[in-house]
Amino acid sequence: MDVVIAGGGAAGLAAALALADDGHRVVVLERGSAPPPGPAARAGEVWRRPTSPQSRHAHTLTSFGVAALRGHAPALLADLLSAGASTVDLTTARPPGEAVPGDAELVALACRRSTFDVVLHRHVAARPGVDLRYGTRVTGLDVTGGRVTGARVGAHVVPADLVLDATGRRAAGRQWSHARGVAPAAVRTGPTSVAAYVRFYRRRGPFGPLNRGNAAGVLADHYAGVLHPGDNGTFSVAFGVLPQDDGLRALRDPEVFDAVGRVTPWVGDWLDDAVPLGDVRVMTCPPNAFHAPESSPTGLVAVGDAVCVTDPLFGRGVSLALAHGFALAGLVRAHAVADLGAAAAALADELLLPWFRQACEEGEDRIARWRASVAGTAADRPPTALRAAGAAAAASRDPELWRGVVRVLMGLDRPDALTAPPFADRVRRALAAGPPLPPPGLPDRSALLAVAARAGRRARVDLASGPDGDRVA
Ligand SMILES: Cc1cc2nc3c(=O)[nH]c(=O)nc-3n(C[C@H](O)[C@H](O)[C@H](O)COP(=O)(O)OP(=O)(O)OC[C@H]3O[C@@H](n4cnc5c(N)ncnc54)[C@H](O)[C@@H]3O)c2cc1C
C-alpha cells in the first residue's frame, strides 16, 4: 500500500518505520528542513526548526517510551545510545526493600530532544522503503469517491491509499477534512497554564541523584523546578510557572534563572559543577487536547499530538507519540482502510484518553494551587489520586508506594492503578500516619521572589558596569 505521512515528528516517523517494516511504500512529507550534517549532538544544537519549537526545550523519555523503542525499534535505540544518550536506572531512588521483576522496566532515556530528533530523522531517512522529503508542506487532501487518494502539496498531489496526519498539536488534518465537507469532531481541552523556562548545562562531574523518577527537583505550591539528564554530559533545568506570574517572569534572565536553580532542592547540587550552554528559552505550553479521530474521511488517520496533547510537565508526549505511531501500523495490518477510522478511534480511547484525562485532572488541581499561592490565599481542594499517592510515597519509606507512583509517572501503569483498592488503601494508611515534610531547603514564595529580585539587581549592575566597575557609556 502507498502511505503518505504528513509531518516528520516522533509520531509520523515511528509510524513510517513500522509501516516500512510491514512492506508498505511510505512517503513522509515534512515542512521543516533536514538536520544539518555533523555529529548528532552538535547538529541538533544548530538545526533551525521554527515549526517544532518544543525541540529546543527540556526533554525526557519515560520508561514507556524506552519500552516502545526496545520493542519496535531496537536499532534506533542503539543509534541513540551511540550518539551519547544513556539509559537511567530509576530504581536507585527506590526506598530500601526487595526488588521485583518489573523494576527492570524502570529506566528512562537521558537525551536532549535536539539530539533525539537528529538521530530519529537520520535513522528513518536511511530506512529502505521510506522516502523522507523536507521543505514540503501538506496543504490538503485529494479525495475521490469519498476516499482519500492522496495528499495535496499546493497544486501537486502525492498519491496514497492512506494519509496519516502527523502534523502535531495543530492537527492540520482537521482543516483538510473540513475543506472536504467532513465536520471534525469536537475537541476536548483542558488548560495547562504553564510558561516553561529552560536552560541547558554541561556537567563536569558525574550526574547527581534523581528524586522524581526520571527527573530531579520539586513540584512546589507555585512553581515546578525540574532537571533532566541529557546526552553527552548535558542536562536541562526547566521551571514551570503560571504564565501570569509576574513575580517569576524575570526567570528569562540567566542570572535569575541560575539563582532560582541554586535554591531549588535537588537542582541546586547539579549546578555547582556545571557550565551553561546558552541562554534561557521560554515557551508557553499548549493546553491538553483530545481530538476524537473517528470523523475523518476514509483513508485519513491522525497520530500523536494530532490526536492527543498532554501537559508537557509530565514529559510523556513523545513516548505516547512513538507508541501510537507503532500501534497504528498494527491497525493497518489488521484492518481494511475503510475500517481504520473506527479502529483508530478505539486505539486512541485505549492508549491516549486515560493520559488526557489524568493530565486535565492534575492540571486543574495544580493550577488552582498555584493561583492560590500567587494570590496569597489557600486552595481548598481534595488531592487528586496522583497527588495523594505522591504525598503518601514521600511521607513513607514504602517501596510499594514509590513503585506505584513511579510506574504511573513513567507510563508503565495507567493512572487508574493509583485508585485501585489495594494500592489506594496503602495510600490512605501512609497518609494517616502524617503528611510528608516539604523537601529540606524548599524556599517559600516570598523567599524565592527575594532570591530572584536580588539576582536581577546584581545582573543589572553587572550589565551597567564595565570590567573596572565603570558605567558603560
Ligand atoms: C515545552 C514542551 C516540552 C515538552 N517536553 C516533553 C518531554 O520532556 N517529553 C516528552 O515525551 N514530550 C514532551 N513534550 C511533548 C512532545 O513535544 C510532543 O508530544 C511530541 O512532539 C508530539 O510528536 P508529534 O510527532 O505528534 O508532533 P510534532 O513533534 O509536533 O511533529 C509534527 C511535525 O509535523 C510537521 N508539520 C506540521 N504541519 C505540517 C504540514 N502541513 N505538512 C508537513 N509537515 C507538517 C512539523 O514541522 C513537525 O515536524 C513537550 C512539549 C512542549 C511544548
Please check the confidence at residue 369 and state whether its pLDDT lies above 50: yes
Four-point Cα dihedral 264, 268, 271, 277, nearest 10: -10
Reported as half-sphere exposure (CB side, CA atoms, 13 A), residue 469 has a value of 0
pTM: 0.95
Confidence at 205, pLDDT banded by 50, 70, 90: confident
End-to-end CA distance of the chain: 68
Maximum alpha-carbon separation in the chain: 77
Q: Residues 369-397: what's their mean pLDDT?
A: 89
Q: Residues 130-143: what's their mean pLDDT?
A: 97
Please check the confidence at residue 184 and state whether its pLDDT lies above 90: no
Check whether residue 280 and residue 294 sit in a common domain. no
Confidence at 462, pLDDT banded by 50, 70, 90: low
| Last residue within a domain, chosen from 338, 356, 374 | 356
Q: Residues 306-326: what's their mean pLDDT?
A: 97
For a ligand 1 pocket test, name from 29, 52, 118, 192 the mutation site with the most ligand atoms within 8 angstroms of its C-beta. 52
How much is the pLDDT for 185? Answer: 79
Check whether residue 103 and residue 230 sit in a common domain. no
Contact (CB, 8 A) for 79 and 125: no
Cα 235 to ligand 1 centre (Å): 20
Query: What's 39's domain CATH number?
Result: 3.50.50.60
Please check the confidence at residue 188 and state whether its pLDDT lies above 90: yes
Confidence at 463, pLDDT banded by 50, 70, 90: low
Angle at 98 between CA 92 and CA 100, to 5 degrees: 85
Please check the confidence at residue 471 and state whether its pLDDT lies above 60: no
Describe the strand order of the beta sheet including 187-190 as a list of residue ranges.
Answer: 187-190, 288-291, 308-309
Q: How far apart are CA 409 and CA 73, in angstroms?
A: 23
Q: Residues 223-245: what's their mean pLDDT?
A: 96
Check whether residue 10 and residue 70 sit in a common domain. yes
Structural domain includes residue 148: yes
Query: What's 252's domain CATH number?
Result: 3.30.9.100
Confidence at 465, pLDDT banded by 50, 70, 90: low
* DSSP-H helix ranges across 37-104: 40-46, 63-72, 74-82
How much is the pLDDT for 472? Answer: 34
| Last residue within a domain, chosen from 249, 269, 284 | 284
Check whether residue 347 and residue 279 sit in a common domain. no
Least confident of 9-23, 315-329, 454-468: 454-468
Check whether residue 209 and residue 63 sit in a common domain. no
Q: Residues 10-28: what's their mean pLDDT?
A: 98
Which residues are 77's β-sheet partners?
A: none
Structural domain includes residue 17: yes
Residue 175 Cβ inside 6 Å of ligand 1? The answer reads no
How much is the pLDDT for 200? Answer: 98
Structural domain includes residue 381: no
Q: Residues 142-165: what's their mean pLDDT?
A: 96
Check whether residue 148 and residue 203 sit in a common domain. no
Give SS3 for 107.
strand
Residue 164 Cβ inside 6 Å of ligand 1? The answer reads no
Contact (CB, 8 A) for 392 and 426: yes
Least confident of 19-28, 185-194, 225-234, 460-469: 460-469
Report the candidate in 168, 187, 192 with the shortest Cα–Cα distance to residue 291.
187
Return the residue whose CA atom lies nearest to atom 30 of ligand 1.
Answer: 168
For a ligand 1 pocket test, name from 51, 133, 319 the mutation site with the most ligand atoms within 8 angstroms of its C-beta. 51
Return the residue whose CA atom lies nearest to atom 8 of ligand 1.
Answer: 59
Check whether residue 176 and residue 316 sit in a common domain. yes
Contact (CB, 8 A) for 69 and 322: yes
Residue 9 Cβ inside 6 Å of ligand 1? The answer reads yes
For a ligand 1 pocket test, name from 5, 49, 54, 117 the mutation site with the most ligand atoms within 8 angstroms of its C-beta. 54
* DSSP-H helix ranges across 169-237: 172-179
Structural domain includes residue 44: yes
Check whether residue 221 and residue 177 sit in a common domain. no
Q: Is the dihedral of CA 263, 264, 266, 270 positive or negative?
A: negative
Cα 9 to ligand 1 centre (Å): 6
Q: What percent of the chain has pLDDT over 70?
A: 97
Domain extent at residue 138: 2-187+289-356
Please check the confidence at residue 175 and state whether its pLDDT lies above 90: yes
Q: Residues 244-268: what's their mean pLDDT?
A: 95
Buried b (16+ CB within 10 A) or exposed e, 126-139: ebeebebeeebbbb
| Last residue within a domain, chosen from 239, 265, 284 | 284
Structural domain includes residue 367: no
For a ligand 1 pocket test, name from 28, 47, 63, 167 the mutation site with the most ligand atoms within 8 angstroms of its C-beta. 167
Check whether residue 119 and residue 218 sit in a common domain. no
Structural domain includes residue 104: yes
The structural domain count of the chain equals 2
Check whether residue 275 and residue 312 sit in a common domain. no
How much is the pLDDT for 394? Answer: 87
Return the residue whose CA atom lies nearest to atom 45 of ligand 1.
Answer: 7
Cα 256 to ligand 1 centre (Å): 29
What digits encode the pLDDT tens for the residues 257-315? 999 999 999 999 899 889 999 999 999 999 999 997 666 789 999 999 999 999 999 99
Check whether residue 251 and residue 182 sit in a common domain. no
Residue 363 Cβ inside 6 Å of ligand 1? The answer reads no
Residue 115 Cβ inside 6 Å of ligand 1? The answer reads no
- Show the 3-state SS of 256-301: HHHHHHHHCCCCHHHHCCEEECCCCEEEECCCEEEECHHHCCECEE
Q: Residues 12-18: what's their mean pLDDT?
A: 98
Q: How far apart are CA 192 and CA 285, in angstroms?
A: 7
Q: How far apart are CA 315 and CA 321, in angstroms?
A: 12
Residue 109 Cβ inside 6 Å of ligand 1? The answer reads no
Structural domain includes residue 135: yes
Structural domain includes residue 420: no
Cα 57 to ligand 1 centre (Å): 11
How much is the pLDDT for 207? Answer: 75
Mean pLDDT of the chain: 93
Please check the confidence at residue 169 and state whether its pLDDT lies above 90: yes
Range ranked top by mean pLDDT from 200-214, 292-306, 337-351: 337-351
Check whether residue 167 and residue 302 sit in a common domain. yes
Residue 305 Cβ inside 6 Å of ligand 1? The answer reads yes
Which residues are 219's β-sheet partners?
A: 224
How much is the pLDDT for 436? Answer: 84
